[in-house]
A and B are shown apart, each in its own frame.
Chain A
Amino acid sequence: MLVVNHVSKNYGNFEALKDIDLEFSSGIYGLLAPNGAGKTTLIKLLATLIFPSKGEILYNGTNISTLGESYREILGYLPQEFGYYKNFSPKQFLSYIGALKGIDPETLEQRIDRLLKLVALDDVATKKMKKFSGGMIQRVGIAQAMLNDPKILILDEPTAGLDPKERVRFRNLLSELGRDRIVILSTHIVSDVESIANEVIMLKDQKILYKDRILHICKMMEGVVYETVISYEQVATLKQRVFPLSERQEDGLLKVRFVAKGAPEPAWTAVKPNLEDVFLYVYRDEMRGEGAL
């Protein structure tokens, strides 16, 4: 079991994470937060690349810094900015990473072949990565992270650059992996985690806002999410009174989904809130700055 215990992380005067408490056992954890929330910071702490300013991170009761090699041995990590050797083929690169991970050569060879097939790169296994697309590189990164069959798999925005088909493949792969290990993946794309995460962790104001099952998180907004169909002219008036989540064209009219506290109007239909609704509502201040709405 992986435990984050009262961890804070400062960059100089800036506090990126404040007093974080988390527990991970087998399963898939979605780290869901907008840009700059501290996802990468938390993940780098878990990967022992940076160290907590306060608090500690324990694996089975021992500080991960103390465990050192024996902790990193069971760790698989895909960085957000995944670097690679341009003149290497995926096979050569994975062999090098395998050597760093201390995997014996025979096992390594088999794993590389299997993983390259798994991420659908087997036909370019010996081609230089120089000419690879972003999505192909990302898949090399995923393969690299899984090379040592890690007990703790941490993926920092793994779906960035993947096309829809690969996203689906990847999700299926993860839900299989999540059965007997800790999988932590960060994302700001709700659909990445919605269908597969056992638990979702949301960060806000440098703290943990929620760490719960998706169902429970959504329940917190039950009864305040509505949909209604209105004409374009009415949109402005509605938006003054409620918090809009999304809108969609329908037969020349507009179907608006929104959050409203207080008594509903007859034309509004109450709907079951989903994770996307929660995300948009929770981070409404952060998102406004980015012009997301």
Chain B
Amino acid sequence: MSLWQLELKKAFRSPVVYVLISLFLFLNFSLLYKHAGIRDELKVTNELVDKFGYQIDEKMFAKLRVYYLAKLEKMNELTNKKIGKTYKRANDFFAPSEYKNRENFNKAEFHVMMETAMIENYYESISNIDDFYRKLDLSKNALSDIRGYGLKGAAAEHTRHYYRKLGERLDELVQNGEHKTLFFFGMIYRMHALLFKDLMRSMIFQTMVLVVLITAHIVTYEFQNRTHLTAYSSKRGRRLMVDKLAASLVAALCVSTTIVGPSLSVYFLLFDYSGLWHVPVSSFFNREFSFPYISWWKLPFAAYLGLIVVVFIICQLFFAMVAYVISMWCKNNYVAYALFAIGFGVAVFVPGIMPKSSLALFWTIYTPFSLVLNPHLWFMGWNVFFPKNYVPMTIIVWIVLLTAAMAITLLKFKKEPIH
């Protein structure tokens, strides 16, 4: 077994790691379980895509209309028979005043109503899409950002520029019809937020905790066990730290896989995305707030998911490197945990105290620490703090920074007295 493998084994000999992994997976599974109730309703979207495709155009809309009206008629037949009443809209059946009538239907019949109402939602919303995007006025967003964050001078100018660029992207998006696609109803189910905010963000922090724990453990192991004199005077000597670096990075990959793999598997087993892999995330239906999701590039859901996972892993590698450098300087794992936590806090805090008129406000967000706070907005235009180059720039800058930091740390360690 090579040295980095021996170092890696040290990390996974600690029972804390297994306890934490089990705990985190349990938390993720229970989060998903809480939302499992909607899985039947989500199937309707897949059925529609199955029948008509996800791209919305005149022809598709006409077909959907026929299908919807047939469904509505069937539903009315049923209600007529049971309660002697018909509905103009399926959603009227779900109005609060109808609660007495609803009691007359069994589960299977209820499902028909629900399905019809869902299709109706899509049918009615589709006619509003054009109107909705026409009315989006990004200069208003610029103004609200400037007012909301109290931006002045160069920062305000930067904000206006940001929304001009986002506007260009919006035009392009409308042009190629990315928005006119079927997807889960974001306003109702918030699937984007569930997956990329609630679940992904939890996973980021869970994995980060494990990565920092393991890295500091591996790096400080000889000092903590007082084997440092033997280890660093051996043939491998101080270069053992290079093996420890490799082991830390591999451990970060292992832990990422262990947390993300099972969690995402359960997610996609629970929620059926079979028809939606190719639907762009900028779909009108993915919208969860008054402002829609606008990805800076045309990204189908599958590609978006893939990118998020890749960025996730890169961020974990960054955290491993940061923890590595810190541990090399302080040589005590508990101190390293504390310093990492403080560093994280400071990095997140700094953008908030930058002068509101300076561009430093926007430069200070390019850290993996700020980045991981909002994984659901990666690659999205949202507000002025989510520029197009946010993710790629952060990655490039921090590869350079951390490579330099690690090189300096390793060189310093080579000349460092070991007592």
Residues of A within 8 A of B (CB): 44, 47-51, 68-69, 72-73, 75, 77, 79, 81-87, 96-97, 99-102, 144, 148
Among B229, B232, B234, B236, point to the contact of A81 (Cβ < 8 A). Answer: B229
Q: How far in angstroms is the closest Cβ of chain B from A106? A: 14
Interface status of B37 (Cβ within 8 A of chain A): no
- B237 CB contacts on chain A under 8 angstroms: 48, 68-69, 72
Interface status of B6 (Cβ within 8 A of chain A): yes
**Chain A residue nearest in CB terms to B240:** A100
**Complex alpha-carbon distance, A77 and B233, angstroms:** 8
**A83 to B225, Cβ gap below 8 A?**
yes
Q: How far in angstroms is the closest Cβ of chain A from B223? A: 9
**B227 to A84, Cβ gap below 8 A?**
yes
Among A50, A77, A87, point to the contact of B230 (Cβ < 8 A). Answer: A77
**B230 to A148, Cβ gap below 8 A?**
no
Q: How far in angstroms is the closest Cβ of chain B from A115? A: 15
**Complex alpha-carbon distance, A84 and B227, angstroms:** 6
Interface status of B1 (Cβ within 8 A of chain A): yes
**A99 to B1, Cβ gap below 8 A?**
yes
- B222 CB contacts on chain A under 8 angstroms: 83
Q: How far in angstroms is the closest Cβ of chain A from B233? A: 4
Closest 9 CB pairs of A and B: A83-B226, A100-B234, A79-B229, A83-B227, A50-B417, A47-B233, A102-B235, A49-B418, A73-B235
Interface status of B231 (Cβ within 8 A of chain A): yes
**B233 to A48, Cβ gap below 8 A?**
yes
Interface status of B3 (Cβ within 8 A of chain A): yes
**A85 to B235, Cβ gap below 8 A?**
no
Given A68-B237, A83-B225, A51:B230 Cβ within 8 A? no
**Chain A residue nearest in CB terms to B417:** A50
Q: Is the interface of B mostly helix, strand, loop or mixed?
A: loop
Interface status of B81 (Cβ within 8 A of chain A): no
Total inter-chain residue pairs, C-beta < 8 Å = 75
**B226 to A100, Cβ gap below 8 A?**
no
Q: How far in angstroms is the closest Cβ of chain A from B120? A: 65
- A102 CB contacts on chain B under 8 angstroms: 235-236
Among A51, A84, A87, A99, point to the contact of B3 (Cβ < 8 A). Answer: A99
**A85 to B230, Cβ gap below 8 A?**
no
Give residues 396-419 of B contacting A (CB, 8 Å).
Answer: 415, 417-419
**Complex alpha-carbon distance, A96 and B3, angstroms:** 8
Interface status of B165 (Cβ within 8 A of chain A): no
**Complex alpha-carbon distance, A81 and B226, angstroms:** 8
With an 8 Å Cβ cutoff, the count of chain B residues facing the other chain is: 25
- A73 CB contacts on chain B under 8 angstroms: 235
Given A48-B237, A81-B226, A83-B225, A100:B231 Cβ within 8 A? yes
Q: Is the interface of A mostly helix, strand, loop or mixed?
A: loop
Interface status of B197 (Cβ within 8 A of chain A): no
**B235 to A82, Cβ gap below 8 A?**
no
Given A48-B233, A84-B227, A100:B417 Cβ within 8 A? no
**Chain A residue nearest in CB terms to B233:** A47
**B419 to A97, Cβ gap below 8 A?**
no
Given A51-B417, A100-B3, A87:B236 Cβ within 8 A? no
Give residues 228-260 of B contacting A (CB, 8 Å).
Answer: 228-237, 239-240
Among B227, B229, B236, B415, point to the contact of A77 (Cβ < 8 A). Answer: B229
* B2, B228, B230, B240 — most chain A CB neighbours (10 Å): B230
Given A50-B419, A99-B3, A144:B230 Cβ within 8 A? yes
Given A96-B6, A99-B6, A100-B236, A49:B229 Cβ within 8 A? yes
- A100 CB contacts on chain B under 8 angstroms: 3, 230-231, 234-236, 240
Give residues 185-242 of B contacting A (CB, 8 Å).
Answer: 222, 225-237, 239-240
- A99 CB contacts on chain B under 8 angstroms: 1-3, 6, 236
Q: How far in angstroms is the closest Cβ of chain B from A143? A: 12
Assuming A82-B226, A83-B222, A99-B1, what are 8 further A-B pairs, CB within 8 angstroms?
A47-B233, A79-B230, A82-B229, A84-B227, A85-B225, A85-B227, A101-B234, A102-B235
**B417 to A97, Cβ gap below 8 A?**
no
* 20 A/B residue pairs, CB under 8 Å, sorted by A: A47-B233, A49-B419, A50-B417, A50-B418, A72-B233, A72-B234, A82-B229, A82-B230, A83-B222, A83-B226, A99-B1, A99-B2, A99-B6, A99-B236, A100-B230, A100-B234, A100-B240, A101-B235, A144-B230, A148-B235
**A49 to B417, Cβ gap below 8 A?**
yes
**Complex alpha-carbon distance, A83 and B226, angstroms:** 4
- A144 CB contacts on chain B under 8 angstroms: 230
**Complex alpha-carbon distance, A82 and B231, angstroms:** 11
**Chain A residue nearest in CB terms to B236:** A100
Interface status of B59 (Cβ within 8 A of chain A): no
**Complex alpha-carbon distance, A83 and B240, angstroms:** 17
Q: How far in angstroms is the closest Cβ of chain A from B243? A: 9
**A83 to B229, Cβ gap below 8 A?**
yes
Contact with A along B84-100 (1 / 0, CB 8 A): 00000000000000000
Q: How far in angstroms is the closest Cβ of chain B from A65? A: 9
**Chain B residue nearest in CB terms to A69:** B235
Among B236, B239, B419, point to the contact of A101 (Cβ < 8 A). Answer: B236
**A84 to B225, Cβ gap below 8 A?**
yes
- A86 CB contacts on chain B under 8 angstroms: 225
Among B6, B230, B239, point to the contact of A83 (Cβ < 8 A). Answer: B230
- B228 CB contacts on chain A under 8 angstroms: 83
- A49 CB contacts on chain B under 8 angstroms: 229, 232-233, 417-419
Given A48-B237, A50-B417, A97:B230 Cβ within 8 A? yes
Interface status of B13 (Cβ within 8 A of chain A): yes
- A87 CB contacts on chain B under 8 angstroms: 13
**Complex alpha-carbon distance, A69 and B236, angstroms:** 7
**Chain A residue nearest in CB terms to B232:** A49
- B1 CB contacts on chain A under 8 angstroms: 99
Given A100-B3, A100-B240, A47:B229 Cβ within 8 A? yes
- B226 CB contacts on chain A under 8 angstroms: 81-83
**Complex alpha-carbon distance, A79 and B234, angstroms:** 12
Given A87-B13, A99-B3, A99-B6, A75:B229 Cβ within 8 A? no
- B3 CB contacts on chain A under 8 angstroms: 99-100
